[in-house]
């Protein structure tokens, strides 16, 4: 199948995608896709495949993704104040290796823009909505908790869960919040901001096994409700990419899967915790593998770039039939 968007410069394709999704919404029938349905707390997921944070940063296409068959949606990252992307190059696409590089740095129209958008469309939303929140670039790391508190206070009535994003490599100093001297107080303050809300922690794939397990212990103690494995990586298995910025897609898969294995072993004692796998999920075969490894839900980003917005439909067609090993293909 021809994928014309891949012939556009990546930033052009990125900028045009919201309009393209709205058009698709109006010219295609709704995809009411149900397979491997899941209930968690009071939320029902018709299928386990959702969109990652970073795709719909400002909640512009929420209903469009629902129309196209997503099982749940994560919007954001949302910051308290509007802020532009980082200066300089911010997005590169490596088609040969099915990879994306970005150093966007939480570009956001701000929480009040997102709040207004979600208030308007929330009554029409039938699938769970996660809101990914972060700090503004100019907020000192010592005051980061204030940015997260403000987002939670303003958006809690609209969020089925908050994704606490302290793992982006594109906001200077952000990952220092994972330090064991900082993380307990930070997470405890977050979870006490709105005790009735659910909170998910998005992990960095660059944590060692020891660092990951320490982080999970602290998070469980703080009553975090679930985890996303994982954000983009600073590692560079591919040559020719800038050293700054995060890498996603196929090269991220080994790190994401390794984290999932480490985490699943630890979280066996906490079956109520939601486990979401993200990173390098590009086919139905990848989906089946992550589910078999213990993930409850899955998120895609790069797959939508390379396979297009009908990826949800293609996957559902695959999973609607009994499959033997080697027969899965959602390209």
Q: What's 233's DSSP letter?
A: B
**DSSP bridge pairs for 132:** 163
Fold of the domain built from segment(s) 4-319: TIM Barrel (3.20.20)
With CA atoms as reference, report the closest residue to 65 among 49, 81, 86. Answer: 49
226 in helix, strand or coil? Answer: strand
- The per-residue pLDDT for 330 is 39
For the chain, the C-alpha Rg in angstroms (whole number) is: 18
Q: Do β-strands 99-102 and 91-94 pair in parallel, antiparallel, or remain unpaired?
A: antiparallel
- The per-residue pLDDT for 132 is 98
Q: Do β-strands 226-229 and 274-278 pair in parallel, antiparallel, or remain unpaired?
A: parallel
Q: Considering the candidates 17, 167, 168, 283, report the single residue annotated as catalytic.
A: 168
Q: Where are the domains of the chain?
A: 4-319
CA 187/CA 199 separation, integer angstroms? 10
- The per-residue pLDDT for 210 is 95
Q: Where on the phi/psi map is residue 206: left (φ > 0), alpha (ψ -120 to 50), or beta?
A: alpha
- The per-residue pLDDT for 130 is 98
Told to judge if 320 belongs to the known catalytic residues of this protein, a careful annotator would answer no
Instruction: Count Cβ atoms within 10 A of the Cβ of residue 305 and give its class: 0-12 exposed, 13-18 middle, 19 or more buried.
Output: buried
CA 100/CA 142 separation, integer angstroms? 31
Q: Where on the phi/psi map is residue 55: left (φ > 0), alpha (ψ -120 to 50), or beta?
A: alpha
One digit per residue, the tens of pLDDT, for the chain of length 331 reads 456 545 455 665 667 777 778 888 778 878 888 899 999 999 999 999 999 998 999 999 999 999 999 999 999 899 999 999 888 777 888 888 888 888 888 889 999 999 999 999 999 999 999 999 999 999 999 999 999 999 999 999 999 999 999 988 888 889 999 999 999 999 999 998 888 899 999 999 999 999 999 999 999 999 999 999 989 898 888 777 778 878 988 999 999 999 999 999 999 999 999 999 999 999 999 999 999 999 999 999 999 888 888 899 989 888 876 444 433 333 3
């Amino acid at each position: 199948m021809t994928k014309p968007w891949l012939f556009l410069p990546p930033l052009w394709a990125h900028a045009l995608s919201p309009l393209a999704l709205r058009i698709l919404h109006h010219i295609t029938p709704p995809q009411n896709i149900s397979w491997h349905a899941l209930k968690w707390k009071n939320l029902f997921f018709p299928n386990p495949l959702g969109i990652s944070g970073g795709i719909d940063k400002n909640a512009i296409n929420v209903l469009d993704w629902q129309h196209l068959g997503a099982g749940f949606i994560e919007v954001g990252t949302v910051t308290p104040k509007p802020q532009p992307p980082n200066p300089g190059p911010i997005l590169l696409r490596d088609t040969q290796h099915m990879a994306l590089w970005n150093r966007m740095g939480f570009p956001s129209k701000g929480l009040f823009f997102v709040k207004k958008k979600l208030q308007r469309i929330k009554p029409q939303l039938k699938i769970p909505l996660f809101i990914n929140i972060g700090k503004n670039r100019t907020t000192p790391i010592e005051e980061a908790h204030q940015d997260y508190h403000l987002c939670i206070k303003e958006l809690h009535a609209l969020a089925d869960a908050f994704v606490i994003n302290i793992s982006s490599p594109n906001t200077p100093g952000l990952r220092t919040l994972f330090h064991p001297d900082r993380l307990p107080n930070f997470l405890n303050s977050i979870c006490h901001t709105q005790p009735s809300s659910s909170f998910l922690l998005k992990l960095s794939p660059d944590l060692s096994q020891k660092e990951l397990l320490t982080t999970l212990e602290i998070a469980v103690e703080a009553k975090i409700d679930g985890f996303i494995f994982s954000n983009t990586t600073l590692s560079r298995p591919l040559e020719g990419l800038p050293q700054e910025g995060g890498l996603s897609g196929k090269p991220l898969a080994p790190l994401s899967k390794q984290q999932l294995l480490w985490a699943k072993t630890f979280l066996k004692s906490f079956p109520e915790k939601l486990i979401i796998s993200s990173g390098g999920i590009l086919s139905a075969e990848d989906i089946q593998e992550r589910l078999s490894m213990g993930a409850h839900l899955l998120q895609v980003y790069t797959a939508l770039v390379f396979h297009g917005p009908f990826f949800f439909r293609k996957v559902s067609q695959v999973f609607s039939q009994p499959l033997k090993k080697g027969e899965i293909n959602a390209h």
